[in-house]
Amino acid sequence: MANQATAETSSVFTLSSIRGHTKEKKDRALKAAKLSASLVSKIKTKIINNSSIFKISLKHNNKALALALTLEKENTRRLKNEKIFLQKEVEELHFYNVVLRQKLNCLNKTLREIEAFMNNNLLTAIEMCSFSEHIQNPLTLPSGQSGCVDHQSKTSYHSFRKSAMYISKLQ
């Protein structure tokens, strides 16, 4: 019996030691799990904090980008308006240039007509002077006039002739 009692006590000790040992293992496992959970929660907190900082940083970046975009849109609008204004100014200047060219052509045409008219009339005047000179007779000169009038006519004839030659050379 004593053997039985010792067997029971040793089995109880063994059972209780096994239970205690398993309980310790469970406790260790629970402590490890709690520690893991604690570390996981700390990591999650850090991630959340980091992500919230990241989110705040993104918000600031988005605001800065939106402001830059607004400024660029305004700048683009201003440049487009300036481009349109300059295009209109160029068109006006082209039109003004065309008007000036037409006026210049008209003036050139008028000057050519005046030059042709003057050449024709000058030549006609020279021819009339030379014709009247040939027709004029020194015997028919009125009294008081002498051959010096004839000399004046010849001088003016020669000056007209030189003018006519000069004009014809210019053409």
Residue-level pLDDT at 114? 92
In this predicted model, which residue has the larger pLDDT, 152 or 93? 93
Percent of the chain with pLDDT over 70: 68
Categorise residue 143: left if φ over 0, alpha if ψ from -120 to 50, beta otherwise. Answer: beta
Label residue 165 exposed, middle or buried (CB < 10 Å: 0-12, 13-18, 19+).
Answer: exposed
Question: 113-143: per-residue pLDDT in tens?
Answer: 999 888 888 878 887 777 666 665 444 445 5
145 SS3 class: coil
Distance CA 29, CA 41 (A): 18
- Stretch 100-112: mean pLDDT, rounded? 96
Tens digits of residue pLDDT in 33-53: 787 888 888 887 777 777 777
pLDDT confidence of residue 97? 97
Residue 160, pLDDT > 70, answer: no
Calculate the dihedral angle through the C-alpha atoms of 112, 117, 118, 121, rounding to the nearest 10 degrees.
Answer: 160
Nearby residues of 141 by Cβ (< 8 Å), 6 or more positions away: 149
Residue with the larger pLDDT of the pair 27 and 2:
27
- In whole angstroms, give the CA distance from residue 96 to residue 88: 12
- Average pLDDT score, the chain: 76
pLDDT at 157 over 60: no
Q: Is the pLDDT of residue 96 over 60?
A: yes
